[in-house]
Amino acid sequence: MPEFLISLTNIVKNYKTMRALDGIDLGIKPGVTGLLGPNGAGKSTLIKLLLGLVRITSGTGNILGHDLGSHGRQVRNLVGYMPEDDCYIPGMSGVEVVQFAACLSGLPTIEALRRAHEILDFCGMKQERYRIIDTYSTGMRQKIKFASAIVHDPQFLILDEPTSGLDPEEREALLARVRMLWTQCGKSVLISTHILPDVQAICDEVVILSQGKIRLNESLSKLSQTKSPSFSLRILGNEETFVKNMKQNGFPNLPNSEGDLVFESNDPRLAEIIWNTARESETKIHSMIPARNSLEEIFMATVKEATHANS
Ligand code: ADP
């Protein structure tokens, strides 16, 4: 497998006088990559450029073995794209929409129908696939968009805000399917989202874009190492004994202004140790919340730094 599926060198994209992308150098590895950035960062422009839908102003790049800006049609056959906005023809049933997407990629009608059913099964769509799409809930429409993006068996998937508007179960199911596409089918994915926990749940790599520049491109595991896991707790029962036993086990309580108990450690067994100590101390855990999301902290700090640098 090549080290990078996509590599971009010094890409600039201007819309008249507006510079949307400002010297992008980026390599996207096989796996699941999260693309984060505030509104106006240039995420959509970057996606359109990868799909060959907008022309670059300058720079060079390669996407799945094709020069960026050429062979747009071939690239689009290798890439599945799930746009943020709804895109369906009113009056069609769910299965017809997915079949239509398969036909657009060149499959004959019957084969396209067979693929559409196969993919809708994978997406957990039951008899509702025969209903007119106009009557669907947001979650069902997201499933149809997702199915349409993967029906032609693309090598690489670009998902734009795939979980927006989903309820927690639907979100979890969709993320699990995306992860499965990589782990079981070897499909690489670029997922653009505002929902940081989505990135944390399924991504291997994180790219942060702000004001048209790449501000961070790092593996999630490396980023997570930058901060030790920590938990904020409330205890029912003899808190003093619990704190004393945690200290004896090598985990002193950190100062906290909100009256919670906070424990931080590099030890991956920290959560288990907290539960065991609570049991030994004959106390109960009332609440146990992971301390502030480190990816959120990294995102906020990166974007803030970029804003300062440009002001
Ligand atoms: P994001 O997807 O991160 O919100 P976009 O790529 O949509 O960012 O936009 C990046 C910048 O380019 C923004 O300032 C936006 O206003 C501008 N822009 C995007 N599309 C166009 C366009 N077609 N014409 C002019 N400016 C545009």
Asked if residues 125 and 141 have their Cβ atoms less than 8 Å apart, the reply is no
CA distances from 247 to 232, 251, 257, 279, 288 (A): 15, 5, 19, 15, 18
**What pLDDT is recorded for position 308?**
72
Q: Is 79 in the pocket of ligand 1 (CB under 6 A)?
A: no
Distance (Å) from CA 43 to ligand 1 centroid: 8
At 64-81, the pLDDT tens digits run: 999 987 877 788 889 999
Residue range 112-141: average pLDDT?
95
pLDDT band at 310 (very low <50, low <70, confident <90, very high): low
- Given a cut of 90, whether residue 259 has pLDDT beyond it is no
Provide the strand spans (E) within the chain.
Answer: 6-15, 18-28, 32-36, 58-63, 66-67, 79-82, 156-160, 188-192, 205-210, 213-219, 230-236, 261-264, 284-290
Q: Is 13 in the pocket of ligand 1 (CB under 6 A)?
A: no
At 152-191, the pLDDT tens digits run: 999 999 999 999 888 889 999 999 999 999 999 999 999 9
**What pLDDT is recorded for position 135?**
95
Q: Is 43 in the pocket of ligand 1 (CB under 6 A)?
A: yes
- Given a cut of 60, whether residue 302 has pLDDT beyond it is yes
**What pLDDT is recorded for position 266?**
81
DSSP per-residue codes, 108-174: -HHHHHHHHHHHHHHTT--GGGGSBGGG--HHHHHHHHHHHHHTT--SEEEEESTTTT--HHHHHHH
Provide the whole-model pTM. 0.79
- Taking domain 226-290, whether its CATH number is 3.30.70 is answered by yes
Residue range 79-94: average pLDDT?
91
- Given a cut of 60, whether residue 226 has pLDDT beyond it is no
**What pLDDT is recorded for position 165?**
82
- 156 phi/psi in degrees, rounded to 5: -135, 140
Testing ligand 1's pocket by substitution, the residue of 16, 18, 35 carrying the most ligand atoms inside 8 A of its CB is 18
Residue nearest to atom 23 of ligand 1 (CA): 15
> What crossing angle do the helices spanning 168-185 and 138-150 adopt, rounded to 10°?
10
- Given a cut of 80, whether residue 31 has pLDDT beyond it is yes
Residue range 21-31: average pLDDT?
96
- Given a cut of 80, whether residue 106 has pLDDT beyond it is yes
**What pLDDT is recorded for position 253?**
86
Residue 39 CA, closest ligand 1 atom number: 4
Residue range 252-257: average pLDDT?
74
CATH 3.30.70: which residues of the chain?
226-290
**Chain centroid offset of residue 36 CA:** 8
CATH 3.40.50.300: which residues of the chain?
6-89+147-221
Q: Is 39 in the pocket of ligand 1 (CB under 6 A)?
A: yes
Residue range 137-165: average pLDDT?
94
Q: Is 45 in the pocket of ligand 1 (CB under 6 A)?
A: yes
Q: Which one of 3.40.50.300, 3.40.50.720, 2.40.50.140, 2.60.40.420 gives the CATH number of domain 6-89+147-221?
A: 3.40.50.300
